[in-house]
Structure 1
């Protein structure tokens, strides 16, 4: 008798989403570091906020923000409330991967930050072969008008540790499997389609690029502030069943002197 492979992590099929369309964005805004010189955060922060404001997402996941950067974003984007803890052992230490949501439309039901490590509840813990602590922010939201709920996960997988990326993805997959409402997973995966970490998550989720009715923009999400890096898409939006993907776009907005606001391009997905 042939062997049968069971996917024990596949979540129950979600009911179709009945709320109004939702626009989701993932955007790595690049950490504030003096080594960036004229491309440093003080010169880019208004352009980053302007890019977000122009594309007007209902929910968004950001990566690589230090505490001061998160304060700058909050100051410039009053439409949103942000949740999520920094990745360091102490509160406010290290980078955040916050989830933001339009607070007039949605209310927060609950949220958590967990570490992508062997000890997910230990603040500052470094997993496997990762170069840094890595976290996932989870936010459960309720649409005020309809009462419908969904969950957003925002992740930033390690840039060096292949094992850490894959095992971290497995932790997120387990959280997704325990979720009883439609789910969006977005972030900087530090890997492309076909990498084991991406494969782990797409066992039970759909990549918005493949699912989109319309796809727009360059075939990359990376740049050096002045020119695009070809064929390097490492920022992704994944979806549970229940969502329809009306459109996906990689947004190549530029500001002064033809520069990009970050060394990543934002990905925007329209869901219904």
Structure 2
């Protein structure tokens, strides 16, 4: 039975974003990156501006961090930190190519997070691998964030953390394989997780949406929900249909140029949770 749209309630959010002024693919640190293929930076900026305007039209606040020419991946703001309850945790990247982003994001979060900012000691890649759901945090490992970092996140942010192991290198961050909609509903690609991870997701979220590989490869799961509207890749049509069935309002946009760097809509969006 299709849920009525009135069942879902949007909540105003606060996001941090970084314009892809210097976006490029200069190296390969995930399977999506190919430095031999030219990047259309103007197109990436136009798609990003569409996303920022959409967030504002939906009633959300968009904060900005200045892009730096030496950091082509800085547009992926979700990897820049994790903010829960006004408290921010910085990041420590696995690959040295992105380590220059750590300090700029730490400084920016220090101005945005009312509860202070904390520097991590272990490898964690922010909201790329740590997704708050209700009173808990789902944490990814396997390719980027260290499993030991999960305990550090739990201690600093004072939330229980549930570990999930990723097994498909195409879905190297948790936010490429799992999407959070509200306090008790997620969507995920089962094949992206090991047996224990699939079992844990099923136990925690019995009504979870299982997404097809085709929609996941289109970065459909790298989406942003405000509780009612879900902004997602336009190509993830099957996923969008299921969201409508569940009472959400999916909004598909083109964001494929940023996918050349291995990121999508959620990667470009860091939520500042007060």
TM range (shorter): 0.3 to 0.5
Please state which structure has a larger fraction of its residues in strand. Answer: 1
Please state which structure has a larger fraction of its residues in helix. Answer: 2
TM-score (normalised: structure 2): 0.38
Q: Which has the bigger relative contact order, CA under 8 A and spacing at least 6?
A: 2
